[in-house]
Amino acid sequence: DVKVTQSSRYLVKRTGEKVFLECVQDMDHENMFWYRQDPGLGLRLIYFSYDVKMKEKGDIPEGYSVSREKKERFSLILESASTNQTSMYLCASSSSDHAVTDTQYFGPGTRLTVL
Amino acid sequence: GQSLEQPSEVTAVEGAIVQINCTYQTSGFYGLSWYQQHDGGAPTFLSYNALDGLEETGRFSSFLSRSDSYGYLLLQELQMKDSASYFCAVRDGYNTDKLIFGTGTRLQVFP
C-alpha cells in the first residue's frame, strides 16, 4: 500500500514565522504535490515536483516555496507566515507512469493555524 | 483553461441511490477521476474513466460521456459511512501529471 506521511497533523504558528511542512512517500513515486484546501474552494495546487530538485508552480504559489532534495521527501516552506495562510495543507504523490490512471495518493493533511 | 463543475451539496437517505454530476471544460481530455474525502480525512481515489461508458466497482459506479464533457458518480445502497465530499478531477494536459479538481460535492446520508 502507498503511504504518504506528513510531519504534523496540527500546527500553530505566529505571523512572520518561517514554517516547514514535510511530506514523505514510500512508493518511489516521481511526482509529489502540495495543495491547500479551504471550505468552498476545493483543492488548490501550490507547487508540484516531477523529479528530485525539479519544481513547478501551481495555481497559488505566492508566499510559498518548496524543496525536493530526495525523491521520497517534498517540503513546503512558508517564508513568513501570514494569517491568510491558515488552512489545511495536503501532500500527494503519484507515479509518472500514467498509462492506466493518474491516481494521486494523499497524506493525512496538516491543519495550520497562523495567529 | 480547465474547469470542472459539480453541485455543492446532495442529500439522500440510507438505502437510496444518488448521482453526483461533473461537467468539465478542458483543452484536451485524458480521463476523469473521482475521489472521496471524509471530514478530517485525506482524499482517496475511487474510480477513473478514460473511455465512454460505465465503470462499476461494488456499490459505486462512474460514467463518462466525452461528447457531452460530462460524467457522474453513482452511489447505490447508500450507507451512513458514504457521507463525505466527492471530487471529480481531470488531468491538466498531455505532458503533465497535474490534476485539476472540482470544488467538491458534499453528500449527507440520513437514516
What are the pLDDT digits (tens) for B55-111?
998 999 999 999 999 999 999 999 999 999 999 999 877 777 888 999 999 999 999
Judge whether B32 and B48 are in contact, CB under 8 Å.
yes
What is each CA distance from A90 to A9, A74, B59, B60, B106, in whole angstroms? 10, 12, 28, 25, 19
For an interface test with B, which of A43, A56, A74, A93 has the most B Cβ atoms less than 10 Å from its Cβ? A43
Cβ within 8 Å, pair A103-B33: yes
For an interface test with B, which of A30, A96, A104 has the most B Cβ atoms less than 10 Å from its Cβ? A104
At residue B40, what are phi and psi to the nearest 5 degrees? 80, 0
CB-nearest to B42 from A30, A33, A109 is A109
CA angle in degrees (0–180, nearest 5) for A88-B24-A109: 15
Cβ within 8 Å, pair A101-B102: no
Q: What is the pLDDT of residues A4-32, one digit of tens each?
A: 999 999 999 999 999 999 999 999 999 99
3-state helix, strand, coil in chain A (%, to 5): 5, 55, 40
